[in-house]
């Protein structure tokens, strides 16, 4: 029984760390873990810190307590895995699966491949092109943004696969897309070259971390909120440096 309790606690800590890594808010992590802990009749307290999960279990019968620590995996934000992990907690809560089956399903979810890179690349380019139109861009500006996003996002994928530091990736990709985004100015294409340039790097904005930091702030998770907000700010700064570098290189004299 003791070994099983330890296995369950390790499972919950690992589960929470993956939810954190996939972009879940602290509220979702706590609710999902508490939902499963209630089914397995465990008295736990979980502390979510930037980059790690601390899960404490106390046994009322013996008065002993154990603490389990799990570092959050360095994985990208994944809506699919986030959703599947949440479904797993509900399956446990509804009594559809037992602990051993939950372990198997968890292993399947975290090992599942991410969405096809080519599909993500194309859809991200379409989305950024739509932003260009939303901000008043004409047809030529939309084409410029599509190309700038397509090439810049592909460069981002390649650099991340090579494990290049994410801050440098944002800086390089913003610079690359900004240079392409200046095509409207350089070649006199379209009537909205400013919109094309401004929206060419929007695909790099870390929107989800910004939203999560606000959600965590409202829920009183100040350390995680501040960590996510500062990471987002640093990435936004790197994006801005890359954008400014591209503008200066093309000698647009905007500064």
CB neighbour class for 219 (10 Å; exposed up to 12, middle 13-18, buried from 19)? middle
* DSSP-based helix, strand, coil % in the chain, nearest 5: 70, 10, 25
The C-alpha angle with vertex 54 and arms to 49 and 60, in degrees rounded to 5, equals 140
Mean pLDDT of 234-252: 93
Give residue 98's pLDDT: 93
Mean pLDDT of 86-103: 94
The C-alpha angle with vertex 224 and arms to 220 and 227, in degrees rounded to 5, equals 130
Q: Tokens 């465990």, residue? A: 42
Q: What is the pTM of this model?
A: 0.86
Per-residue pLDDT tens over the stretch 165-217: 999 999 999 999 999 999 988 888 888 899 999 999 999 999 999 999 999 99
User: Highest mean pLDDT range out of 5-9, 59-63, 74-78, 142-146?
Assistant: 142-146
Answer whether residue 2 shows pLDDT above 70.
no
Per-residue pLDDT tens over the stretch 14-69: 999 999 999 999 999 999 999 999 999 899 999 999 989 999 998 777 778 889 99
């Amino acid at each position: 029984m003791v070994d099983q309790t330890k296995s369950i606690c390790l499972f919950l800590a690992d589960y929470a760390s993956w939810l954190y890594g996939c972009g879940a808010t602290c509220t979702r992590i706590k609710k999902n873990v508490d939902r499963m802990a209630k089914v397995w009749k465990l008295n736990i307290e979980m502390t979510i810190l930037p980059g790690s999960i601390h899960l404490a279990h106390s046994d009322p019968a013996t008065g002993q307590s154990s603490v389990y620590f799990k570092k959050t995996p360095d994985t990208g934000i994944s809506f699919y895995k986030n959703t599947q992990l949440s479904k797993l907690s509900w399956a446990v809560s509804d009594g559809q699966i037992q602990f051993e089956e939950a372990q198997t399903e968890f292993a399947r979810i975290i090992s599942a491949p991410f969405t096809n890179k080519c599909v993500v690349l194309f859809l991200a380019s379409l989305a950024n092109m739509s932003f260009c139109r939303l901000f008043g861009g004409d047809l030529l500006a939309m084409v410029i943004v599509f190309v700038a996003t397509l090439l810049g996002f592909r460069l981002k994928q390649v650099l991340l696969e090579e494990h290049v530091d994410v801050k440098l990736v944002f800086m390089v990709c913003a610079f690359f897309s900004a240079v392409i985004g200046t095509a409207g100015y350089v070649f006199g294409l379209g009537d909205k070259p400013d919109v094309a340039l401004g929206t060419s790097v929007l695909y790099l904005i870390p929107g989800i971390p910004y939203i999560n930091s606000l959600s965590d702030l409202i829920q009183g998770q100040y350390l995680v909120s501040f960590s996510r907000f500062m990471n987002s700010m640093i990435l936004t700064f790197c994006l801005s440096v890359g954008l400014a570098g591209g503008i200066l290189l093309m000698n647009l004299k905007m500064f």
